[in-house]
Amino acid sequence: MTMRVLVLGAGATGGFYGGHLMQAGENVTFLVRPKRHAQLMENGLVVVSPQGNIISPVQAVTRVSKPFDLVLLSCKAYDLDAAIETIRPAVGPETRILPVLNGLNHLDRLDAAFGAERVMGGLCHLTITMDPDGTIRHLHAFNRLTFGARQPVQAPLAEALAQAYAKCPITVVNSPDIVHDMWEKFYFLATLAGSTTLMRAPIGAILKAPDGLAFITGLLEECTRVATAAGHPPSAERDAESRYHLTKEDSSLSASMMRDIEKGGPTEGEHIVGDMLRRGRELGLDLPLLTLATTHLRAYEARRTAG
């Protein structure tokens, strides 16, 4: 029996993962804005990928009125409140919601809106973009989608989803401890975003400064302390991987949040760096570098919203 899946948006991430579910034979509908709807009706869903292209007509709507089995959320955190209201008609008693947003704060907001029994956990590692004409470009062959049940009642759908994605050129992990996996991405991303937005430079450039290494590793240690105090210490493997990426001298790595600032757009700063600070303070930790990074992002948002 196929799943009825609603994908909110058909942008880069939603289009990629929704498109592959569609290729796997699931009943996928994209809930999109009118402009994106017109693109999809004219050109179909177009995904250009090293692992195989998708060029296919799709089911796309601009509003919904009945429940689905699964709702896939890949919006930015600053669009979450609007997304919650948009998908509300699609959420019934048996619906499961799979968010693949960064950070953790969205789980509390979705739980409050729909009930924790409906909200799974998820994260993805994917380098992808979308052209103005709607073409989705998967830039590197590596991609990984990790999801899992946060409550036992969600396990059957998580297993069905894993079986569907097993037909696709996607690395999929149906995690038995998805919240811990989310923490392991969260502490790394908070360090990366906090560092590269504050210094307005990629990792390699920061490391060229005399105190750059000390700053990055100091911020990483603070985020590690928060994760550990919250009961989710990074594994030795994850710690080694994080340190490698954050101390690689020729690295061009930067957070997408830095690029958002350079374009003058909104950021997920409060959702990621600010939320890490909030959680750490609630646990009684002193976090001077995280405080500095958060203050910078808050000042940027205050200036941006003031015009």
* Active site residues per annotation: 185
Tokens of 22: 């569609």
Tokens of 23: 């290729």
Is the separation of the CB atoms in 90 and 64 below 8 Å? yes
Q: How crowded is the C-beta side of 114, counted as CA atoms within 13 Å?
A: 28
In this structure, the dihedral spanned by the alpha carbons of residues 166, 124, 62 and 67, taken in order and rounded to 10 degrees, is 60
